[in-house]
Every structure is written in structure tokens, then in C-alpha cells.
Structure 1
Amino acid sequence: MHRIGLALSLLSAMPAAHAVEYPVTAREEVVDKYQGPGGKTIEVTDPYRWLEADVRESDRVAAWVAQQQAVTEAYLGALTEREAFEKRLTELWNYERRSAPSRFGKPGMSPDRYVYTKNDGLQNQSVLYITDSADAEGRVLIDPNQWSEDGTVALAGTSASYDGKLLAYQRSEAGSDWRVIRVMDVETGKELDDELRWVKFGGVQWAPDGKGFYYSRYPEPEEGAAYQASALNRKLCYHKLGDPQEKDVVIYENPEHPDWSSGLWVSEDGEWLVVVESRGTDHQNRLYVRRADAEGGAWTPLVQDFDNEFNPIASEGSRLYLVTDHNAPQRRVVSFDLQRASDVVFRDTLVEVVPESAATLESASLVGDVVFTRYLEDVAAVVKRYSLRGEPLGRVELPGVGSVYGFGGWQDATETFYTYTSYDAPPTTYRYDIPSGESELLFQPDVGVDFSKFTVRREFYTSKDGTRIPIFLTHRKDLELDGTNPTLLYAYGGFTISMTPGYSASRMAWVEKGGVLAVANLRGGGEYGEPWHEAGKLKNKQNVFDDFIAAAEWLIAEKITSPEHLAIQGGSNGGLLVGAVMTQRPDLFGAALPAVGVMDMLRFHTFTAGQFWRDEYGSADDPEMVEYLRGYSPYHNVKPGVAYPATLVTTADTDDRVVPMHSFKFAAALQHAQQSKGAGDKPLLIRIESRAGHGAGTPTKKLIEQAADLWAFLWEHVGPKSGS
């Protein structure tokens, strides 16, 4: 966090239980006029418009941030359990953790080598290692901890050339979505002169000859606008090693639709290029194809509408394999012959490889001539295998009800790797032998927790309209569920993102202390396929809030907790969720933790990546959506005189995904509302992390400090002594 020095020392004696005196936040006369249904003009006031300015560019906003931080740090520093939580969190985080290994280079073209990341425990950033054997210790290839003293420069992606001689890697600074691509000689560790900037939302894909690679970029922003300008005019480029970036060849762009996004898929043999173009974050997309050697050649359209998802996963010769929801809401795997692309109708000639099932197909991959499919069955992972002809080859046996990631690799590989985790199982890595179908344990971390003392169970509750919603509960076995338990309810509910079970050192500190963790799988996510997602987007968004409110009411009815002991938490779209429900039902919660949330639903689309979210939310540019968005927008629904739950808003000054103005304006509105009679005196604070972004790449030290602040704040307000 920002360290305020003298201001903090003057305020540090403030008793946590007393009412907080907030800094004065100026209110200005700003009125926007929106066009509503039938040409109606809708006027909306925005008194905190000035807080939209970038903190790096505005002295006024920087001063406001410093004043808010001084008050927040003083409050958090005085909390009784703050020091104990930080001590235990440091212990829980201090364990060796590794990623699953992946082969470095293509079999037959490179030596047998693997890369993996490892963190010794409290290192701010995980280190990239290279090894000759998947089960052997490796040597350090890249250590991001050497890049900055405070650990805020992170390794954000890597890609090896086919021959394994070169590594393209991405660096991210202060949590920003912007990336810088560099290239390293693997044997010598020497960096090449190549440096590519203004890169975000994409990786690197090498050409087989190793002379260059494909990547995506945006135009260089105007001075001072790097962290707020809308992500427009994306270009897919080819970079030849040794050339300056300005000589890179643009292989695809769509200037007629600068707000659309495109990604490139390259076939494993390097023969085919496929452009996947979308209008936003929805999976529905267009497809274009051409041969890689057709320099400057035209792209052949395969799909020219946005009616379905078509996600390329592999190719064999000219046969392209895809995951799609075409005629399959729960998704299936199909194939298509690219050589016939110019003279047939794409959808009419698809060949089904893996049919749709009752479970949701999350992902698929083709490794060693086996199609691995990962499903969700009531939010638990199931992995099945199929031949290229669609013949079932059985399941991959998993340790329990949890999540699984991996099953990637080259198509001529004989092995693949995966990681399993659950709320009571830390990420454990396995090698999977494809010919035998056997799994071998590679790495299981020792986290210093006796999981036999905890219980994890999956339950179901009924939402407002009768929809059945899954919810996972984790708590100590010795806990008496008598309606007074401190309970943390977490959810997301959007963008087809599924909240699957996973171990968290941070949450373990909460559960060990005697708290209950409840994770609800709301509509808007991907837990039950595209219909589940559609039921929680656009004008169905209220379903998501109703699902979350119903989860809270179920926890109370089941005598797990009560309103004064119930806290809610969510980040990003989940921060919007928390902001919406705490303004709709402030009586239902004792505390709220909205993190990096989308709080201004009328202006979100005018900043950075916000324009991509219009498929999910709609936007105020659409007269049919203005009133609906204003109806649940957290910032616009804070009302003077309402007693809101104790709230700790969290954001970061370099968040260029959900820009911090959302949290700034929401916190200012909450604090102003509390000045009215009858609004209570629960703290309504904002915690603003410095040199951090939307979450990715945050140093371990900052993660521990933030978690200690959050749990101490919650324990103060929903812990055993609350309300007594």
C-alpha cells in the first residue's frame, strides 16, 4: 500500500470500533444526458466525475488517494487481529509450489527438455526453470525477482521456438495489462535486441523455422493515456527476428470495426493460420483462414456471423479440430477440412468427433492422437479421452471432487501433465502416460495444514425464481453450526467463468480461525454451459444478484450464520456483484469486500478493456439498456441515510483492466451517504494498492498484506464478538 508516514502516525491511534472521519471529497455539478427508450432523455448526475482522472496524471486525485489511504491504514493498523492474521498468512504462504512442467520445443526438433515455474515460498514472483527431465530439478532460466526491488515486475508469459533454442517472454510492470516481449538465447541466457511494446491480451506463436513469430498489439497510446485509453484497433502481426518493431508485418486488422478483437491460431505444422474474431468477451466468433506461406494473401471466411463459438484446438494435416456450441449448448468437438474452405458451407460439412453430453464441456485438447475433454458435472471436473474418430477411451481418474488443469502438449507426444486441486487439496501435479493411461504423481506440496480437521461439501439451494444453484461450504469439523458463525460468501457470476474448487492459502487462514467459506456458483458463469451464462447477462443480470441474495438467505435459514456474521466478497465482475447486492439488500450483510469492481455501469465502456464487456452488460449507448443499467449500477444506487454494512473497497492504482475510478467514485458516494441522519457509523473505507493492477503478477508480500487487512477487517465486524 501507499505508506503515508507522518499522516499515518498521527492517525494510527484511532480505535477501530469508533466512527471514522473521512476526508472531504468535493462534489461537482456534472449532469449527463442519455437517450432512453422512445427517444426519452434521461439525466444522470455524476458528482465525482473528477475522480476519473489517472492518479499518475492528476495531483488532485493523487492527493485524494493519499488522504483516503492515511485513514484506511490507520484503521486497519488498529484492528485487534491484524498482526495475528499476517503472521499466520505468512506461514501458510511459505511452502514450495510448482506449476506442471511443459515440453520445451517440439519433439523431434528440439532436445528433450521441460520448463516449469517454482516459488520457494515467500518469493515475490515465481521463477522459471528448465530441466532435462520432468521429474528432475532444473536450472534457473528467468528469475523475475531480479527485475525490481519491490517485486512488481512479473513474468507474464513464455513461448519456446520449435527447436528449443530461443524463448520469447513477456514482462508486465506494476500489474498492468501492457506487456513487453523480449527474446532470449536459451543456452547462453543472452537477450536478443528484439523488444516489442504495446502488447496486451495475447501470447506469442512461433513460426516453425524459428525466424520469427506472431503476436498482437495495439497502437501506441497518446501521452498520459496508457492506463485509461480504450483498447481499440488491435492488429495481428508477424515479427522477424532482428527487425525493429516498426517493420513488423500486419497480417490481419479490421479498421471498419476498431472495437472488435482478434486472435491468431497457428497449426502445429505451421501450415495454416486461423483468425478468431469476436465483438467482446462472449465466445461467439467469426473465423478466417489462409495458408501461412501466402504472404499478403487474402483470408478465406469460414464463419461471418456471431451466432456460435468456434474455438480451434488442433489440426491434423488440413483437418481442423474445434470446440463449438453449434447445435450443442453444452459444447462438442467437431472437425473440418480446410482444403474445402473456399467452396463449401462451413457449418454444413462439420464432422462430429465428440458429441455433446449432459455435462458442460470446458475445454478440449489433442495430444498424442488422443482428444482429452474436460467437463464440469455440478462444478466438479471430469476428464474423458476419445480417439480422433470419436471412440470413447475412458476417463482419467481424478483424486476427488475438485478442479483440474493441463492436458496440453504436442500431437506426437507420449505424455501430458495436469494439476488437480480442491478446497482441501493444494495444487498437485501428475504426469499422464498416454499409451498406458496411467497417472504418476510428480509433485505434491507440503502446505503445513492437517486437512482431516476440515470438511468440504457441495450443497444446492433455490434462487428467487426456483433455479437450483450449487454452493460449496468449507469449515472446521468441530465448528458448531448455530447461526453465529463468521461466514464469507464469495461468488462471481459472469463472462462464462466457472467458480471451481481450488486451494487458497489466504482462505485457509480464514477457515482455520473458525470462519465458514461459502462459494456460490451463480448464473452468468459457465458451470452449466451457455444457457447458464445467458441467464445472467444483459437484461438477465438481476438473476445473478438474486442468486447471490438467495445464497445469503439460505446460509441464514440453515443456521450456518446470521446477517450480523455474514460477509460478502467478489472481485472484478464479482466486485460489481458485491456492490449491487449491498445497495439492494444492505440489511442482509454485516460486511462487504468489493474488489476492483465495475461500479459505474453507465461509463465502464469508455475506459481500457471496458468496451469488450458490452456483450455481457450492454452499454449506455443503447437506449434500451440505459435504465436497466442505472437500475443496478452500484455507484448510482448509493442512497443517503441508508445504513450500509462495514465495507472495505479495494483497488489498485495501475489497474488498467477495471480502472480504479470505479472504486474511487463508489467509495466517495458511500462516505457521502453516511453523513445523512440514520446512516449508521460502520466504516466505509477504500484500500488502494500502489504499483499493482487487476491481480495478475501481484508480489507475494503484497498479497499477504492485503489478505491480513481483509480478514482482520471482517473479523472485527462479523467475528464472534460482533453484535454482542
Structure 2
Amino acid sequence: MYKYFFRSVLHKNNSKIVRKNNLLLGKLRAQQIISIMSQSRVSVNIPTTINASPGAEEAKLKMTYPVARKDESVTETMYGTSVKDVYRWLEDPEAQETHKFIDAQNAISQPFLEKCDEWKKINTKLTKLWNYPKYGAPMKNGSYYYYYKNTGLQNQHVLMQQDSLKEEGRVFIDPNQLSADGTTAMSQATFSDDGSYMAYGLSESGSDWEKILIRRAKDCTDFEDVLEKVKFSTIAWTLDNKGFFYGRYPCQDGKTDGSETKQNEHQKLYYHRVGESQDKDTMVVEFPEQPSWRTISEVSDCGKYLILFVSYTVRDNTLYYAHIKPGEEISGPLEVHPIVDKFEADYDYVASEGSKMYFRTNKDAPNYRLVMIDLENPDEKNWKTVVPEHSKDVMEWALCAHRNKFVVCYIRDVKSVLQAYEMETGKMVQHFDLDIGTLAGISGEKKYSEIFYSFTSFLTPGLIYRYDFAKPEEKPEVIREIKLNLEGFSRDSYAVEQVFYKSKDDTDIPMFIVRKKRDTIEPRPCLLYGYGGFNHSLMPSFGITALTFMDAFDGVVAYPNLRGGGEYGIKWHNAGRLLNKQNVFDDFQSAAEYLTCNKYTSKDRLAIQGASNGGLLVGACINQRPDLFGAAVAQVGVMDMLRFHKFTIGHSWCSDYGNPDEESHFVNLFSYSPLHNVHTPLDKSQEYPSTLILTADHDDRVSPLHSLKFAAALQEAVRQSEIQNNPILLRVYTKAGHGAGKPTTMRIKEATDILAFYFKSLNMDSVNL
């Protein structure tokens, strides 16, 4: 089956086709990518003025915040601990009181950010830097090649089609034509085996909900088929090109546009026939006794087996298979057979040869290995290791090309390594030379000899390579270099270094530091960005916001690879999850101390930022060590660690956070939950840094209720303090979600808000605006 992997780091889309990991916080697919009603009186007071004038000193003057009603009656006793939840009414996204609270917050934060000359200058600079052509690696499907392209400032990437690599591409599908404001985005796309059809998903306003349509390759027209209620699903075509398998949820009461908070349960796997209406689809797999289970599928290369990946968290899955016959009618539920029936490891499908299935797995291999499982004798004792686990390098993904070549990407000390192996022997036959950086994307298929891959780094927007296994005497060739439209930009003007610093428990933590070259190191404005969770690796990646921070503010950008990530395999992940989660916060705080102790920055000029799970990171750290930071930005963060599992797909995160309904996990979660550890500053060491909390109204991955409740609690706490002068702001964006599909105009605006906030909070000099 065709594989396309795409990576994007720092709060962008991530469309690596990974099974259960499409629910990761902050990792979103782009290519295949109980609210309690309150009837109480609204009591949100909107100030008519902000007690500060625009300018750098505004961030240091005391502000007047909206007064959010506190419902003291909402109290629960959990394992002997009384837990108040006075802002639970903010969990209702439909309530007028919630809307007024959001309006009141935006009435403060928007003027604070926008009513200054620096905002306009930063926006102009970002727009200029963003305006350069962007391309994805080509993909071969049937008679055509395809690639994604953005001319520079288009809201969404356009999928292009070409007859050969030498010809100009033509538009195959342009999402920019589907909505005036660019908020309709492609969420996934999968071609039929012969390349004649493409099934693709469309999402609105950043929601995880999508609808699936089908386009003809020959004339770029769509069938009338429209599949609704689709979420967290892949598309798996049958070999006869007549239809595909996909997952959908049952109809539910109320909205399903991404603004709702109801839990997603009872997903079922269906088979859809091209040209028929959705109500004729055949339900083929369900697990009615397990409402939280999700099933995604792959059709084997021979077309005779449907491989099922079942999960209920974002870690570990079981494996099943069903017999299917190409060309035969699929008329009812399939008989499924277990391959692996315990949730104890990850399994990703790579390829097949008849009944022999090849999987990437961390079963008995913390750094992952490639194994062969014969469905005619699938007992674990009969599994064969094809490519063994490396002692240090982590096998990040694998695909099959040229009939029998496994193309494997490893992570070696947070840098990509690309190699190829023989299917039968596991012998390495090719090592691809890469600079220090990251494989941003790769495409390839078993029946084609060509592969395409793209490379990026902190200072390299992109290099796209082509390699043909049928011509081993030839080296990989660069077929496209992506360049900035920035006169005078030179990578040689910047320095990139990787350091290893000690965390609180003496563990060595790697960190990249990127800055302009100087003869001496002296304290400069510094942005410290972190994630630390869900086995997600924070790899070197090019970003316009980071470049602007360095270029405009002469700043330093640092990326620590915190425990909880996947940079060093499952052991690294385990060291930062569940009862070990505090290690992640310690790692981040130790990174801040390293940067200040080594004169890269000073505490009052150090900003921290994180999105999703990284938003939790920021929220926890400003509670625990507010004295370390001058500013903080928490984007779409998980802030209520006692109730996260009750909304949308939050129950899936218990594999990383633990279940709040279990005592040991409750005690641990309560100890660091940002919402439950807010304090009133009594001296300067306890003063919160200038803090900007960002969320979006259609985020159905991490519901905005987390940010709303946290902001209300923070503002109430600092209102009681005579010490606190730094602002606590909440900004809620509209027609936006967790990050996937966000149009370019919104991305630039959000980046402008963040950089303007840093400019005002850290008293920066306008070096190059």
C-alpha cells in the first residue's frame, strides 16, 4: 500500500500516517492528520478601560480583569481530598455566560496585543517572511505524480497533479476555493490502488470532524458521495478499486462541528462503495462492549487481508485481521481473527507478501524493530525479526519500495538517519547521506522503484530528493530547493549547537540552541519551546516565527528534548509519563536555568512556550517556578487534569497522564494540575510571568474549557495580590481548532500576537522591524 509520511513540528500539522498516534496532543493528521449546563445569572464584568497605555511598560502596569462568577457549591471529595471546581460553568460552550466571559477576555487581550506600532511592524515582517513558495515531496499514484504546493500566502496548500516530473503541475484540488476565509482544509487523502480515484477528507474550522469525498484522477471531478460523521479514521481501499473502509461515529444529539465537548464513543468500521450513498454503506467491524475503542485499517498488498488496528488510548494497540477477496461483494460484518489481543505494544503496518505481514513494533524492543508475522501461523513464538532493534537509534518509521526494500528512518540524538534494508534478509543495502536535521516527508510504494523525501533543519526551509532503487549506481538527486524570499538571508549568519544539560535528577537532556553568530555570548531575549509527551519527538524544523524572533529581536531560540518524548525510544517516553510526569517539568525548568546560568539570557528576558501537551507544560511550570521566566505563552493546553478524560477524546490520553478516577493517578495529577495549583503571589519570587493563554472555539481535541477555567483562576488569584503586575491574558480565536487546517492568515495573526506579546513583556529592542 502507498505510504506518505510528513512531519511538521512546532504546532503545525503532522501527517505521518501512524496508527493510534493520530490522537496525539499537538500531532495532527493532514495527509492520509458532557458539558454541565449552568442556568445561573451571568456575572462577568467587562472593564471599560485598561489601566495601562500601549507600549513596553504596559506589561508591567496592573490590569483590571473581568470578574468571573465563582460557584462555591461545586465541590467533590476524591479519595479524601475536597476539590472545588468553581468555574465548572465554563465547561458549557453553549451558555450565554460562557460567551460573555470569552467576549470580556478578548476585549482586554486583543487591544493589549494589537494597539501598538510593534504589532503592525511584526505582522508586516512575518507576512513578508512567510511569503515564499512551499512544496511537498512528490507522490506517485497510477499514471500521475502529485505534490502539495503553496505559492506563499495561500491559506491552504494546493494538491497538484502532473504527468511527469519534468512537466508543470496543474491544480488537482484547491481547498482555497471551498471557503472565502480559508477555514476549509484537506484533512487526509488516499488514492485507490490503480490511482484512478482519490478519497479525501475535508474539515471545517480546524475541527477533527471531517467529511469524505471521492475525486476522479482523470478529470478532477467529484462523485456525489459524501460521507459524514467521520473522525479519527484512515481510508483503506480494496484492491479492486471499488470502495474503501473507513471509521465513523453514530449520530449524536446537539452540535458536531468541533465546538461541542461530548465524548466520542462507539466508532464502527464501514465499507463504502464508490458511487453509492452513505446510507448503503456496510458495517463490517464493531466492538459494542468497548465504547472507547477505535478501529482503523489497512488492506494488505495482495488485497486478501484487512488488517485492523484497535486502540483506546494513544499508546499500544491490538491487531486483528479478516479475510477479504478482491472483487467479491462485502455485504455484512467480517469475521475477525486476533493476531495480538493485548494492549502492551505499538504495531504499525509496513508491507506484506502473501500471508506474511511486516510490522514496526516496540514489542520487546524499546527502540523498535521490524518483524514478520505469518497469518497462517501468527503465534508470537513464530515471529521473525527482519530488522532488529538498534542499541541507540530509534526506528521512527518504515515503508516498502521497489518490491522488497524497506526504507527506514531512525532518530539518532535528535537527528534523522535514513537507510534501506532487504525484505528477506534484513541486510542494509543503502545509507542515505543527510545533513544534521530532519526528514520532513517521504513518499514511496512497494510497486514503484522511486522514492521522494524532503529534508529540513532550523535554517533550511526544505530540500526535496529523488532516488530510484532501479538505478543503484546513481546517487539521490535534489529535485527542488525551497528558498526564502528574503534578501540577504544566510544560514552562515546563525549558529546551531546541541548541548546536554543536567536535569534535577542528574539525567542528561539534549537541547538545541539557535541564535545569530556573535563573538561573545551575552544575555539576549530567549524563547524556550517544549513539548515532552506522547512519545512525540521534537526534531529540528524550519519555522518563520522562530526566525523572526532571532532576526527581529536578535533573540535566541532553544528546543529541549524533554523526557516523555520519543527521541530515545519507549524508555524515554516512560520516564516522562504517568507517575513520572514531574520529570518533564523538571527538565524544562532545568533548561531555563541552564540558559540563564550560561548567559544566553536572563530570567526577565526568558519566554517559554508550548502547545497542547506543551500548554500543560507551560501551565505547570509557571505555577511551580514562576521566578524563572519573564513571559509565558500556553497554546490550547490541557489545564484541568482531574476532568480531561470527560470531554471529546480526552480519555485517550490516560496512557500518558493516568486516570484521575484511580487514586494513585489522582494524587499525582492533583499535585501538578495547572488549574488546581494556582497561587496568589505574596512576594516577587511568586509573581507570575506575563502570561498569554491561547485557545480556539472549535478545538475538539483539547476543549477550550481548559484554558477558560485556568485563565479565570489565574486572574482571580493575581487580583488578590499586591505583588502581581505582569498581565494574565486570555485570547480565544474563532473558527479555529487545535491547529490542523489553520489558514495562513490565522497562523500569521497568531504568530504576530505571540511575538508582540514577547516584545511588550520582555522589554525588547526593535532591532530589525
User: Which stretch of structure 1 is more off in the superposition, 130-139 or 706-715?
Assistant: 130-139
Partner of 2:99: 62
The offset of 1:243, in angstroms, is 2.6
Deviations 1:17-68 (A, max 9, x none): 13222122111124342442xxxx32210111111111xx222211211111
Residues 435-485 of structure 1 deviation map (CA, whole Å, 9 limit, x = unaligned): 334211121112123221111111110111111110001111137422x31
1:190 paired to 2:221? yes
The 8 Å contact of residues 421 and 427 in structure 1, kept in 2 or not, is answered as yes
Q: What is the CA–CA distance in structure 1 between the aligned matches of 2:453 and 2:559, rounded to whole Å?
A: 24
**C-alpha distance in 2, partners of 1:406/1:87?**
30
Q: TM-score scaled by structure 2?
A: 0.88
Tell whether 2:276 aligns with 1:243. Answer: yes
Q: Deviation digits for residues 325-373 of structure 1, max 9, x if unmatched?
A: 12211111110111224xxx2x101111111112111111111121111
Which amino acid counterpart does residue 352 of structure 1 have in structure 2?
T
1:232 aligns with 2:276: no
> What residue number does 1:27 align with?
70
Whole-Å Cα distance in 2 between the matches of residues 408 and 507 of structure 1?
A: 28
Cα distance, 1:548 vs. partner?
0.4
Matches within 5 A, 1:10-159: 14-16=53-55, 17=58, 18-36=61-79, 41-54=80-93, 57-105=94-142, 111=143, 113-159=144-190
Q: CA deviation at 1:115?
A: 1.0
Partners of 1:274 and 1:563 lie apart in 2 by: 52
Kindly state the Cα deviation for residue 135 of structure 1 after the two structures are TM-superposed: 4.4
Q: What corresponds to 2:535 in structure 1?
A: 496
Pairwise CA distance, 1:186: 2.6
Correspondence list, 1:445-484, <5 A: 445-447=482-484, 448=486, 449-478=489-518, 480-482=520-522, 484=523
CA contact (8 A) 1:589 1:645 kept: yes
What whole-Å deviation, never above 9, does each CA across 1:540-567 have from its counterpart, x for those lacking one?
0000000001101111111111110111
In structure 1, the partner of 2:709 is: 665
Matched, 1:529 2:569: yes
Amino acid at match of 1:559: K
> Does the 8 Å CA contact 1:205/1:266 hold for their aligned counterparts?
yes
Q: CA offsets, 1:564-606, max 9 Å, x none?
A: 0111000000000000011000111000001000000001000
Deviation of 1:203 after TM superposition, in Å, equals: 2.4
Corresponding residue for residue 429 of structure 2 = 393
Who is 1:508 aligned against?
547
Paired residue secondary structure (2:283): strand
Question: Which residue of structure 2 aligns with residue 278 of structure 1?
Answer: 311
Whether 1:564 and 2:569 are equivalent positions in the alignment is no
Paired letter, 1:285: N
Contact 2:52 2:62 in 1 (8 A): no
Match of 2:730 in 1: 686
Residue 12 of structure 1, CA deviation: 11
**In the aligned structure 2, how far is the partner of 1:651 from the partner of 1:717?**
20
**Cα distance change of structure 1 residues 479 and 674 upon mapping to structure 2, 3 Å threshold:** farther
Counterpart residue identity of residue 589, structure 1: F
The CA deviation string for residues 491-548 of structure 1, in whole angstroms up to 9 with x for no partner, is 1000000000010012110011211000000000000000000011100000000000
State the distance in 1 between where 2:224 and 2:47 align.
45
Q: Give the distance between the partners of 1:185 and 1:493, measured in 2 at CA.
A: 42
Runs of 4+ in 1 over 6 A off after TM superposition: 7-13
Residue 609 of structure 1 deviates from its aligned partner by 1.2
Write the letter of the residue equivalent to 1:292. I
Give the AA of the match of 2:159.
Answer: L
User: Structure 1's 540 and 46: CA in aligned 2 closer, same or farther, altered over 3 A?
Assistant: same
Distance 1:225 1:28 in 2: 28
User: Gaps (5+ residues) in structure 1?
Assistant: 1-6, 106-110
Residue 744 of structure 2 aligns with which residue? 700
Provide the alpha-carbon RMSD of the alignment: 1.8
Distance (Å, rounded) in 2 between the aligned partners of 1:12 and 1:582? 24
Report matched runs for 1:195-594 at 5 Å: 195-224=226-255, 227-282=260-315, 284-293=316-325, 296-341=333-378, 345=379, 347-357=380-390, 358-368=392-402, 369-388=404-423, 389-398=425-434, 400-437=435-472, 438-447=475-484, 448=486, 449-478=489-518, 480-482=520-522, 484-513=523-552, 514-594=554-634
SS at match of 2:339: strand
Code of the aligned partner of 2:752: A
SS of 2:223's partner is strand
Superposed displacement of residue 9, structure 1: 11
Q: Distance in 2 between matches of 1:133 and 1:394?
A: 26
Where 2:262 maps in the other structure, the secondary structure is: coil
Percent of aligned pairs sharing the same letter: 41
Provide the secondary structure at the position in 2 that maps to 1:289.
strand
User: Do the aligned residues in 1 keep the contact of 2:47 with 2:64 (CA within 8 Å)?
Assistant: no
Residues in 2 aligned to 1:376 and 1:521: alpha-carbon distance in whole angstroms: 12
Residues 265-323 of structure 1, C-alpha deviation per residue, up to 9 Å, x if partnerless?
A: 211222111111123011x2211112123864421111111122222211012110011
1:67 to 1:709, Cα distance in 2 relative to 1, 3 A: same
Q: Count residues with an aligned counterpart.
A: 697
- From the superposition, tell whether residues 9 and 403 of structure 1 become closer, same or farther in structure 2 (CA, over 3 Å): farther
Displacement, 1:640? 1.9
Structure 2: unaligned runs, 5 residues or longer: 1-45
Shift of 1:403: 0.5
Q: What's the TM-score, normalizing by structure 1? A: 0.93
Q: CA 1:704–1:12 in 2, change beyond 3 Å: closer, same or farther?
A: farther
Counterpart residue number, 1:631: 671
* SS of 1:394 mapped into structure 2: strand
- Cα distance change on mapping 1:79 and 1:478 into 2, 3 Å: farther
Structure 2 CA distance, aligned partners of 1:691 and 1:492?
A: 25
Q: 8 Å contact 1:485–1:561 — kept in the other structure?
A: yes
Tell me the residue number matched to 1:4: none
Contact 1:481 1:561 in 2 (8 A): no
Deviations 1:104-138 (A, max 9, x none): 23xxxxx2x11111100011111111101134321
Residue 719 of structure 1 and its aligned partner are, at CA, apart by 4.0
Tell me, yes or no, if the aligned pair for 1:365 and 1:407 is still in contact at 8 Å.
no
The aligned amino acid for 2:268 is K
Contact kept, 8 Å, 1:158 with 1:167, in 2: the verdict is yes
1:194 alignment partner, SS class = coil
Deviates more, 1:407-416 or 1:380-389: 407-416
Residue 225 of structure 1 and its aligned partner are, at CA, apart by 5.9
Segment drifting more, 636-645 vs 600-609? 636-645
SS at match of 2:676: helix
For 2:221 and 2:416, locate their aligned partners in 1 and report how far apart those are by CA, in whole Å: 41
> Which amino acid in structure 2 is aligned with residue 25 of structure 1?
A
SS of residue in 2 equivalent to 1:192: coil
How far apart are 1:191 and its partner, in Å?
2.0
CA distance in 2, matches of 1:34, 1:526: 36
Q: Is contact 1:79-1:713 (8 Å) kept?
A: no
Shift of 1:165: 2.2
Task: State the distance in 2 between where 1:475 and 1:657 align.
Answer: 33
Mapped to 2, the partners of 1:479 and 1:618 lie a distance apart of 48
Specify the alignment match of 1:3 in structure 2: none
**Kept in 2: contact 1:233–1:259 (CA 8 A):** yes
